[in-house]
Amino acid sequence: MHSASLIVSALSAFVLAACALDQHPALPPRHPIDFYRTQPPQAPPNPETAAVVPPLPPLRRTEPVPRQPAAPPAAAPAPAVPTGPRPLTACDPGGCWNPDGSRYNGGTGNSFLDRGGRLCQRNGAWMQCF
């Protein structure tokens, strides 16, 4: 025999013998592929040495928590209703005045704001707010 084949057959015999010695009588026989698995096989649990877990106490019945009634929804603000056109008495570079003394502050072009912050539109001598 060649020396290389002698080494291979001696090595194969050594591996087979090592696998045979690796078997434990309490464990199931291992398959050669088990060598490549990442976790070793687990022994079956021994009931004599297993940890005893005490039983859980019975659940206590509690009274239900009374539910609070839901708060009524907040009133939605009324939608902006345009007012009818109102006459203007005087205008200056900052805005215009109406007959009851309310001021419309000037914006851009014919757009103004009344004291409530609503958008108002000037059309000649009339003002209408939206």
Q: Give me the domain span that covers residue 100.
A: 86-129
Confidence band of 73 (pLDDT split at 50, 70, 90): confident
Q: Which two tokens stand for residue 47?
A: 């009931």
Structurally, the chain folds into a number of domains equal to 2
Can you name the residues that pair with 12 across neighbouring β-strands?
A: none
By the 8 A CB rule, do 111 and 120 touch? yes
Residue 78 lies in a domain: no
Query: What would the two tokens of residue 129 be?
Result: 């707010």
Is residue 80 included in any domain, yes or no?
no
17: confidence class by pLDDT, cuts 50, 70, 90? low
CA dist., res. 81 & res. 69, Å (int): 34
**pTM of the predicted model, to two decimals?**
0.40
* Residue 100 is assigned to a structural domain of this protein: yes
| Residue 69 confidence class, pLDDT cut points 50, 70, 90 | confident
Average pLDDT of the residues in 8-15: 63
Among 90, 122, 97, CA closest to 108:
122
Looking at residue 107, its pLDDT comes to 75
Q: 116-127 pLDDT, tens per residue?
A: 888 999 999 999
pLDDT for 108: 82
